[in-house]
Amino acid sequence: MAGTVEDNLRCPACLDIFQDPVILLCSHSFCYVFVRQWWEQKGDQSCPVCRKRCQSTDPFSNLALRKVCKAFTQDSVELNDICSSHEEELNLFCEDHQEVVCIICRDEEIHAGHKFRALDEAARESRVSFLNRVSFLHNIVGSRKNNRDERIQHSEVIKLQREQIESKIKKTFEEFHRFLQVEESARLAAVRKDEEADNQRIKKDTEILDRDIATLSDVIKSAEELLTISGHVSFMKNFKTAMSRIQEVNWHSLCIFNSPLSQIDHVGNLKFHVWERMKETVSYSPVLLNPNTACSEMSLSEDLTSVTLLGKCPTSFDLEEWPMPKYVHGYVWGFPSDVGWRTWDVEVGDNNAWHVGVEYQDDDDQDHELRISFYDGKYICSSYLKKIHDPPMKLQRIRVHVDPAKRLLSFSDSLTKVELYSTYSKGHNYWKDYDESGLLLPIFYTGHPKMPLQIIPLRPRVELVSFDGKVVSSKPTKKKKKKKKKTRADI
């Protein structure tokens, strides 16, 4: 019977005998401290039990319940609440030693100069702090579960990407003869190896998250069991150990790393990489389009050398109203670290709206564009909107020449070799703020759905380079046959 009465006098939030109880309009009673804390966390005045909204922002004090709880507390002092040394009630808390003491212990030499607080006050604040930690643990578990689910979903995305890459690889290898099946198998194995590596990383992360979740769940379980302890003494005796266990938990979530499988590594310039065996049947593209930078309005060819606009062609183009284009970034193998300059040709044909150029970063990591554009029948260079001299005939091919070391970028007619624009035009260098350690990427945009921009392939060649870096020959050397010395018999 006593246990039933005591249970009815406990706050449903803090599970302790009511301290300063208040009653809500829904007739539920709580400790005032926990009601205010609940309302601050939720941002509204709702009951923690039935979730019914309260109109008043200041709950009514339950005086009758306060008197009953006070009387019950005075009459139910347990043996565990008595000091074993002085047989006095344990009603103080030593902050220096973090232990419960009686009034006689306070005056002993071992506690000289220490700071003491009322036990009920210290217990209330400790419970509030402990509840906050437990709530934080629940949030950590939720974060871990979300990270695990994202990794599992990313594994499915990788699987789809792997299937797409495999399809392109198989189609490329159909052009080769049977003796190249070994190369095809090697390429497929490379894709599966990357997929396996990513899956292994995801599996490892998932295992770590599962272990974290299990550990946190154990900590939460033990913490919640501690919260069910009604007595202040038992609670405070175990509080320090439990709080230390919570503080030892690693709060930092794993950084999400969702890297897509690189189509460039597996598909880009694929024919060129097998050219040593099939050089007569392949071509080499100096620039590849990066599919990870293409928006939904753009469609790239399977060999990543042309881009087409999806949709309707605009009837006219206005320099002031034309929206900022969404570029497709190009990728140049080893550029600009291995060789100082690069040149590539772009087939624009009869396309009446396009951009071709490069994007680079300055010393402050700010992005800049250097490009040549054509729209509304006008040729414009760069974002400086400088009109160039109109060529006598519409340009069909644009040659882009880039030399970062010399801060040189030039555009010319690929067919006539006539220069259209250069960053050194008229003595001005608009590329002087380029940071050589920053990014330098080709950019492409087409505004015509029926006229793609096509990167012109090159015929591959071999250059034999000596140890001092000089080019010996552009063709494979052939061994010279030694002349047979004429003997007296031949004569």
Q: Does the pLDDT value for residue 437 go beyond 80?
A: no
- Please give the span between the terminal C-alpha atoms of the chain, in angstroms, as a whole number: 135
Q: Does the pLDDT value for residue 312 go beyond 70?
A: no
* pLDDT over 90, % of the chain: 3
Which range is least confidently modeled, 47-61, 136-150, 476-490?
476-490
Calculated CA dihedral for residues 89, 19, 230, 83, nearest 10 degrees: -10
Instruction: Please name the residues in contact with 34: beta carbons below 8 A apart, sequence gap of 6 or more.
Output: 11, 13, 14, 48, 128
User: How far apart, in whole angstroms, are the C-alpha atoms of residue 407 and residue 423?
Assistant: 8
**Residue 320 has what pLDDT?**
46
- The model's pLDDT over 195-221, given as tens digits with 9 standing for 90+, comes to 888 888 888 888 888 888 888 888 888
**H or E element in which residue 400 lies:** strand 397-403
Q: Does the pLDDT value for residue 51 go beyond 60?
A: yes
The maximal CA–CA distance of the chain, rounded, in angstroms, is 138
Mean residue pLDDT of the chain comes to 77
Tell me how far the alpha carbon of residue 189 is from its chain's centroid: 27
User: How far apart, in whole angstroms, are the C-alpha atoms of residue 81 and residue 255?
Assistant: 48
**Residue 1 has what pLDDT?**
45
Confidence of residue 454 (pLDDT cuts 50, 70, 90): very high
Q: What are phi and psi of 379, to 5 degrees?
A: -105, 125
pTM, 2 dp: 0.48
Which range is least confidently modeled, 23-37, 432-446, 465-479?
465-479
- The model's pLDDT over 403-423, given as tens digits with 9 standing for 90+, comes to 877 777 888 888 888 888 777
Instruction: Please name the residues in contact with 119: beta carbons below 8 A apart, sequence gap of 6 or more.
Output: 90, 91, 92, 93, 100, 232, 236
Confidence of residue 48 (pLDDT cuts 50, 70, 90): confident
Confidence of residue 347 (pLDDT cuts 50, 70, 90): very high
3-state SS assignment for residue 294: coil
Average the pLDDT over 372-388 and give the result. 71
Average the pLDDT over 269-298 and give the result. 78
**Residue 463 has what pLDDT?**
60
